[in-house]
Structure 1
Amino acid sequence: MKELYRDVGVVLRTYKLGESDRIVVLMTADNGKVRAVAKGVRKTKSKFGARLEPMSHVKLL
């Protein structure tokens, strides 16, 4: 089952996944190093694409 996390972290690295998705590697305060899939962030109209660049500070849900 998928788990939900609420945390803050820093984006360490991103990888392309398919045409519009991205795998994001994050270092979080409570959960350490986490990998997550960000769906649709590589689409041209995505609001979140630029926020997931390496060394960005992000809030996670």
Structure 2
Amino acid sequence: MKTLLSTIALSFAGATSVLAQGKPPAPVPEISALEGTAAIAAVLAIVLLAWERRRRAT
């Protein structure tokens, strides 16, 4: 929990220092709902495949 809180604090400190310098934020590529759903489905398929292989190995 301490690590999580320190990571959040450092991220917040870094973001505020960038904003304080007055630099415009860099553009971020957007992701559509279809691409996000496909990415989640791919990760889920890999997890289920690994689980099934492990189950059959025992």
TM-score, normalized by length of structure 2? 0.20
Structure with the larger helix share? 2
Could you say which structure has the larger radius of gyration? 2
Q: TM-score, normalised by structure 1?
A: 0.19
Larger proportion of strand: 1
